[in-house]
Amino acid sequence: MIAAPIPQNDPERLAVLHALDVLDTPPQARFDHVTRLARRVFDVPIALITLVDRERQWFKSRVGLPVTQTPRDVSFCAHAILQDEVMVVPDASQDRRFHDNPLVTGEPHIRFYAGCPLQTPDHVKLGTLCILDRQARRLDQDERALLRDLAQMVSQDLVSAQIAAEDPLTGLMNRRGFEQLAPRVLQACQRGGQPVGLMYFDLDRFKRINDEHGHAEGDRALRLFATALRRSFREDDIVARLAGDEFVAVLPLADASQGDHIRERLAGALADAVQREHLPYPLVASAGFAAYDPARHADFAAVLAEADHAMLAAKPRAVR
């Protein structure tokens, strides 16, 4: 095993990393969305956002790996941050740097590794967005570009000021967080040739709930609706509250049939909530789906508007 050399600027690099105050912080949805998306689009068992500290690499987000950190001297990412581009190891068992690495000879039995450095605007490398497989494989140029795009998302979020990206009432992503993340996901899926859809939701008769039962009950209805949405989507779908009773979701690798399944699951989850909570009013939502097509949609706002229009068309006349 060959441990990565320590770069000359490591003291400065570590100072920048520690100043971000992100090490050992709890999971955050905007980072977990990226790792789940990476695992799905690259069809790998493990995806990580790693930060290379003085003696360890710590995982800000991880899917497919139970541990939260590993020593720096066995880290693939410690090698990756020495490079400017994506580092690819097609078969670690045949690579002199890694063939006897404990992460190769033991759990998680890494064979394939690809990691893109996470950089500040001043080109200080903090860690990587990386994908791992237990089988040898390669990464073509389009896939490398997609990994770079996703890494750029993470880099921008790491170095930006802490964004209030969560809706305090429902716990979902708020409009600001969604409008930052969703367009990047659409672009990443487009670059990778992957389908992606967007769904727009409106909680029907919400004004009547507020008028007849009070605003506290209206808030309760919104929280129950948010819970039903979470249960209806996949882990790597991005669900957010835009405003009031309007909600939206981006569905990577999804088409209109997936939208139909979401509607069915959501209707069932809302019916269960009404029965479980003994609500004196129904919980019903109208939904619209739009498949992102770069030939028809000039930007993210265009696909959002199409999904909104489809939702309004689907809404019963009695509640429009």
Just list the catalytic residues.
245
Q: Which of 244, 230, 240, 318 is nearest to 282 (CA)?
A: 318
Peptide bond into 108 cis (omega under 30): yes
Tokens 């670690």, residue located = 92
Whether 53 and 14 have beta carbons less than 8 Å apart is answered as: yes
Q: Comparing C-alpha atoms, which of 189, 201, 186 is closest to residue 232? A: 201
Per the CB < 8 A criterion, the answer to whether 125 and 13 are in contact is yes
Question: In the chain, at which residue ranges do the beta strands (DSSP E only) sit?
Answer: 46-52, 56-63, 69-71, 87-89, 112-119, 125-133, 196-203, 238-243, 246-252, 285-291
Three-class DSSP category at 44: coil
DSSP, collapsed to helix, strand or coil, labels residue 270 as helix
Distance between CA atoms of 103 and 199, rounded to whole angstroms?
40
Tokens 């089988």, located at residue: 135
